[in-house]
Amino acid sequence: MQIFKTKNEIQAFVKQQKAENRRIALVPTMGALHSGHLSLLDKAKENNTLTICSIFVNPTQFNDPKDLEKYPRPLENDIRLLEKAECDVLFLPDVQEMYPDKDEKWHIDLGSLDQIWEGANRPGHFQGVTQVVYKLFTIIEPDVACFGQKDFQQVMVVQRLIDSKQLPVTLIICPIIRDEKGLALSSRNVRLSETGKTKALVLSRALTLIKEGFQEQSFAALLSQAKALIAGEGDVELEYLAICETTTLMETERIEPNQNYVALIVAWIDGVRLIDNMLLNNN
């Protein structure tokens, strides 16, 4: 695996690869890699001849400096995992490389996507996400980019970026990877106690309850049952739980023809903010 730390280096490399008609797949990450990230690499390899993974803990998408400070950075282990997964290239820039202008301004119209759910709870987060993703797309010029379904709202935001800027990038949404008990894999899981990991299983149970009753019961009844299930677990602080249309993520109360839906959930366990979701009728 080749490792590049500067824009100039990786751009020169990519230019050479494109001259040889190689298709390029990008997997953007913030490191602390786990099986979920590696599944994105597997997907990236399916129809592409060159896989590039980026690791960059992007400061502009953190609205809490303490969260940025606590974000895990096990770089040596990440590199070992990528090598074992046979990733072709790692792009490993520092903050100065990505943000040479400390006063750089960025704003993109995301409609309501940066005002609801994660947008409402983490002001500025999605502006930061689109800022760094646009930089990565501009630097690497991938043919496809693989993102995980677990951050579903982020995926919709990235698609909005691609559409808005008319970028020649195909977005591939990769399924959530769960452990054998159903917990969605996340870099934040390392901060959970063993008891916390057990309690966190209630999130996937609540989502499964909604999915299984989606065609038979009212949305209000399903949400009430799921919230009761979570409350019964104890020591789980629910931030939000909603059933939404997949593209706009606007909350809805009933099934409409030709619409797809997703259940979104965020909860706090052991002081750790956990996020999960489940597609309800299009998978």
Q: How far apart are CA 34 and CA 82, in angstroms?
A: 10
Note whether residue 104 is domain-resident: yes
pLDDT at 111: 94
Note whether residue 283 is domain-resident: no
Domain edge (last residue) among 174, 200, 217: 174
> In whole angstroms, how far apart are CA 150 and each of 19, 54, 169, 187?
35, 18, 20, 12
Averaged pLDDT, 278-283: 84
Q: How far apart are CA 104 and CA 158, in angstroms?
A: 20
37: annotated active-site residue: yes
Averaged pLDDT, 170-178: 96
Note whether residue 79 is domain-resident: yes
pLDDT digits (tens, 9 = 90+) for 130-147: 999 999 999 999 999 999
Note whether residue 282 is domain-resident: no
Is the pLDDT assigned to residue 2 strictly greater than 90?
yes
Mean pLDDT of the chain: 96
Tell me: do 137 and 15 sit in the same domain.
yes
Environment class of residue 104 by beta-carbon count within 10 Å: exposed (0-12), middle (13-18) or buried (19+)? Answer: exposed
Q: How far apart are CA 175 and CA 184, in angstroms?
A: 10
Tell me: do 106 and 168 sit in the same domain.
yes
Tell me: do 69 and 98 sit in the same domain.
yes
Note whether residue 179 is domain-resident: no
Note whether residue 10 is domain-resident: yes
Total domains in the chain come to 2
Is the pLDDT assigned to residue 283 strictly greater than 60?
no
Confidence band (pLDDT; 50, 70, 90) for 66?
A: confident
Tell me: do 228 and 253 sit in the same domain.
yes
pLDDT digits (tens, 9 = 90+) for 102-121: 899 999 999 999 999 999 99
Is the pLDDT assigned to residue 187 strictly greater than 90?
no
Averaged pLDDT, 192-218: 97
Domain edge (last residue) among 115, 148, 174: 174
Note whether residue 180 is domain-resident: no
Report the amino acid identity of residue 24. Answer: I
Return the CATH number at 35: 3.40.50.620
Tell me: do 26 and 105 sit in the same domain.
yes
Tell me: do 157 and 200 sit in the same domain.
no
Per cent of the chain over pLDDT 90 is: 92
Report the amino acid identity of residue 179. Answer: D
Residue 208 has a CB neighbour count (10 Å cut-off) of 15
Give the containing element (helix H, strand E) for 244: strand 237-245
Domain that residue 78 falls in? 2-174
Averaged pLDDT, 141-155: 97
Tell me: do 6 and 128 sit in the same domain.
yes
Note whether residue 181 is domain-resident: no
Tell me: do 215 and 134 sit in the same domain.
no
Domain edge (last residue) among 113, 148, 174: 174
Confidence band (pLDDT; 50, 70, 90) for 48?
A: confident
Report the amino acid identity of residue 238. Answer: L
Is the pLDDT assigned to residue 149 strictly greater than 90?
yes
Tell me: do 151 and 198 sit in the same domain.
no
Tell me: do 165 and 71 sit in the same domain.
yes
Return the CATH number at 205: 3.30.1300.10
Tell me: do 151 and 192 sit in the same domain.
no
Tell me: do 7 and 120 sit in the same domain.
yes
Averaged pLDDT, 167-191: 95
